[in-house]
Amino acid sequence: MERFFDAKSVAVIGVSSSPTNLGRAIVFNLMEFQYRGLIYLVGPKGGVFAGHKIYRSVAELPEVVDLAAVLVPARAVPEVVRQCGEKGIRRIVVESAGFRELGDDRAGLEREIQEALERYGMRMIGPNCIGIINRHTGLAVPFMPMRAEAPPGRVSIFSQSGGVGATMINNCAAEGIGFSKFASIGNKLDVNECDLLAYYLDDAQTDVIFGYLEGIAQGRRLMEIAARATKPIVVHKSNRGGAGAVIARSHSASLTTDDAVTDAAFRQSGILRVADQNEGLTAIKGFLLPKMRGRRLAVISRSGGHAVMAADAADEFGFELPPYPEELVKMAESHARAGVIQFHNPMDLGDVFDLELYEKLAQQTVARPDIDGLLFIHNYQGIFDAEGSRQLVKSLGRIMHAAQKPIAVCVFTMEKELELNRKSAGSPIFTDPRDAVRALAWNRDFGATARRLFATERPSGVDLDRARNALTKSSEGALAPDLLASLLSCYGIATVPLAVAAHKDEAAAAASRLGYPVAMKTAAPHVLHKSDMGAVALDLSDEAAVRKAYERLKAFGPAVLLQKMADPGMEWIVGGRQDKNFGPVVLVGLGGVYVEVFKETAMGIGPLDKDQARELVEKCRGAALLRGVRGRPPLDEDALLETIVRLSWFLYDFPQIAELDMNPVRVYTHGCVALDWRAVVRHA
């Protein structure tokens, strides 16, 4: 990727003398951003633009350039790519639109491009993008004219949408924080978000990474790259409703929608997912502050109302508010006018009108060993105390960098004053106490260390060969319940003893072997939610009851499943499915007939270890019931965790298991057992 961003020479292909030619804007941007390299122009009509000769073809270029920026009609792109390859150009940005985003009939053009890339060993960003920028070298090849407003910053951006990416550039400029690198990736025919994320993580000029995505190219690779990161990664993933058109078959499938899987994958790999651009900008500003290394927050506010808002936010986002020491309280009291305000944490300075004191209080507060960060809220109207307030905001930034503790500065003033502060402060400015506290919480919780991503050690006692042999004989579709029970046993997952019968005499004999009372269910694979369909008979206590139940259940098909009735216990669901981007998705939650009513579930991407399984269980409020309530003994949580881990490995080892659902899994004081299970196989 560095060969894109560190290009020492650029050919802009698709330039003409026409005033409506978009390629001219690329040349404008290279000049506006003061590109330090050589610029060549290419266009079939030749001529001159901005003092540069326009060569009629790539072959006419006097040297091999490092990067080609292409903006020609879509049908001409494959030939231009081939010409670049023949010339020896190995990096290309195709900004032209008109490919598969307009329909499948354009896919042939993309195949031609891919063939040329492979033939000549080229890498390409695009097509259907606006290009890339490196603020530190002036490389800027978007086809929309842009201004180099803010100085280079420490934020690097990738965006599937050129417009959204340009908006974030403008937002960063308006905040005075600038950016470092930018890439619009469009259709992601070659280079995708994974390539750029890996590059930004190694880039010495990048401290914070922001991405906008509508689809994910290689989800599992994205997770693996992100989990190694020690820089914060913020992603706005839109296009949330893609799974809505798909009617899921099993509980696990219906509860693990594509968007919920993305949430789980991002959380597991340490990516902060934001809901919109405003949240993204708030997060970026928070991550540009020094690291918040604990939960102890101090608040200083010139407004009592804002102090209350800050206290609410601190509670919401898990911060502690240690009291101010007596010497700082006395310092504030000595400057109070009416003496009507109590100086707690938050410290309300509404009765104190000494900006120099504000600075001293901030400096001494962040110097305290029991404080991890400071929220400083300052409001002024810019009439009598404008210059002093501006200097105070600047000094808070200097204090922050000297102490290497975050100070989130929240300013309330007139718009013109706010703009002046953003340009001169040298550090981010917030305009809402809750946003500022949330940004500090994100700063605290994300991006400090690499994460454990997937389990690496398969559980003991797994009979992989037996499971593989059994699955190779299975056909596509729903697995027979006795076969699935056998497969689960290969992974040490306990199921209730069972038997399958094809007529009522077999059912009666099987019930006698299992021992009364028994449960009987249809074994027809098309009946998924048996309780809803009336395809279950419980507590059958003798042969007559078994025969009578069989007569009713045979309406669903001749095969029935008999099981020994299990003792009462707490019911959970443990299941999962395969996701095309992320692999095996494991679902855990409160089970039984109400699973889709309460939707009290959590998800992870397998394989999981026991600690990760515990984190999933902890996300469900039912976890408290496992520890025993109202005098009841605690249940065997460890057995439930072991079941989750083993199922995650089963899904990982056998991707042909498209969906798997164990509901309920009944947890006892000792052990747990699956009462009902089903799975769907899809061979590649």
Q: Where along the chain do its domains lie?
A: 1-126, 149-289, 292-445, 497-565, 570-681
Residues of the chain with pLDDT below 50 are 242-252, 254-255
Per the CB < 8 A criterion, the answer to whether 129 and 146 are in contact is no
Q: Do domains 149-289 and 292-445 have the same CATH topology?
A: yes
Strand ranges for 442-551 from DSSP E: 477-478, 498-501, 518-522, 536-540
Specify the pLDDT at position 246. Answer: 35
User: Tokens in use for 69?
Assistant: 């920026």
Q: Reduced to 3 states, what is the DSSP secondary structure of residue 140?
A: strand
Superfamily classification of domain 149-289: Succinyl-CoA synthetase domains (3.40.50.261)
Superfamily classification of domain 570-681: ATP-grasp fold, B domain (3.30.470.20)
Specify the pLDDT at position 250. Answer: 43
Specify the pLDDT at position 251. Answer: 42
Specify the pLDDT at position 357. Answer: 93
Specify the pLDDT at position 418. Answer: 94
Instruction: Please give the model's pTM, rounded to 2 decimal places.
Output: 0.92
User: Tokens in use for 436?
Assistant: 């500022």
User: Tokens in use for 497?
Assistant: 């003893």
Collect contacts of 238-243 with beta carbons under 8 A, ≥24 apart.
238/212, 238/213, 238/214, 239/214, 239/215
Specify the pLDDT at position 630. Answer: 75
Specify the pLDDT at position 219. Answer: 95
Distance, in Å, from the CA atom of 109 to the CA atom of 78, rounded to the nearest integer, reads 7
Kindly indicate whether the domain formed by 1-126 is annotated with CATH number 3.90.660.10: no
Architecture of domain 292-445: 3-Layer(aba) Sandwich (3.40)
Distance, in Å, from the CA atom of 289 to the CA atom of 280, rounded to the nearest integer, reads 15
Specify the pLDDT at position 593. Answer: 67
Going by C-beta distance under 8 Å and a sequence separation of 6 or more, which residues neighbour residue 124? 81, 91, 92, 93, 94, 113, 117, 189, 190, 191
Distance, in Å, from the CA atom of 486 to the CA atom of 499, rounded to the nearest integer, reads 12
How many CA atoms lie within 13 Å of 359's alpha carbon, on the beta-carbon side? 15
CATH topology of domain 497-565: Dna Ligase; domain 1 (3.30.1490)
